[in-house]
């Protein structure tokens, strides 16, 4: 600012040194002051406008921040609901006895059996068993094995019936 003042002072000095007529000098000096006042006024108005805009931006920023905060707290709540117990997770089970499909929260992976909520049979859970090691009790292959067993059983029954019938006939 002091540099601007120095420059202004030098312009006035130049005018005083170069304009010989005192009336002209007064007139020109007045016009220079008038011009300066106009520019100062423009600068003031711009400054006020700029300040107002900065304030507006700051207020909007605060609004956005509080909105982000509320969203963040909502996300935290949802995360809290999802990961309430980090050791438990939803597990889908198809009952091999009645084919009833249900989901269960199994917190303890060591748990090796669960009761079917529909038929109340105990379903054994083999957590670490490989597919090839399955002995036919898993829900995936139980149906097939059961069908095969049924076929054999019905055949045997038929044979028994025939035998019985023969016995009766004799
Ligand atoms: Zn069942």
In contact, 110 and 104? CB cutoff 8 Å:
no
Distance (angstroms) between ligand 1 centre and the Cα of 84 equals 29
What is the pLDDT, as a whole number, of residue 87? 57
CA of 110 to the centre of ligand 1 (A): 21
Show pLDDT as tens, one digit a residue, over the chain (170 residues): 568 889 988 998 999 999 999 999 999 999 999 999 999 999 999 999 999 999 999 999 999 999 999 999 999 988 887 776 555 567 788 899 999 998 877 665 556 788 898 999 988 877 655 444 455 565 555 545 444 444 444 444 455 445 544 555 55
Q: How far is the CA of 28 from the centre of ligand 1 (A)?
A: 106
Longest dimension (CA), the chain: 159
Tell me how far the alpha carbon of residue 146 lies from the centroid of ligand 1, in angstroms.
Answer: 15
Q: Which residues contact 137 (CB under 8 A, 6 or more apart)?
A: 96, 124, 126
Residue-level pLDDT at 151:
47
Structural domain spans, the chain: 2-81, 89-169
DSSP 121: P
Q: Which helix (H) or strand (E) holds 48?
A: helix 22-82
């Amino acid at each position: 600012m002091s540099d601007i003042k120095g420059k202004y002072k030098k312009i006035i000095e130049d005018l005083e040194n170069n304009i010989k007529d005192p009336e002209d000098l007064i007139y020109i000096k007045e016009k220079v002051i008038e011009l300066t006042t106009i520019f100062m006024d423009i600068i003031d108005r711009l400054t006020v406008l700029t300040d107002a805009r900065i304030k507006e931006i700051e207020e909007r920023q605060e609004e956005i921040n509080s909105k982000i905060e509320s969203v963040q707290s909502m996300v935290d709540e949802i995360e809290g609901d999802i990961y309430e117990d980090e050791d438990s997770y939803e597990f889908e089970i198809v009952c091999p006895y009645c084919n009833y499909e249900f989901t269960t929260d199994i917190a303890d992976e060591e748990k090796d059996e669960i009761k079917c909520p529909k038929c109340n049979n105990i379903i054994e859970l083999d957590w670490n068993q490989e597919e090839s090691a399955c002995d036919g009790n898993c829900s995936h292959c139980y149906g097939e094995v059961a069908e095969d067993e049924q076929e054999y059983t019905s055949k045997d029954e038929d044979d028994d019936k025939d035998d019985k019938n023969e016995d009766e006939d004799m």
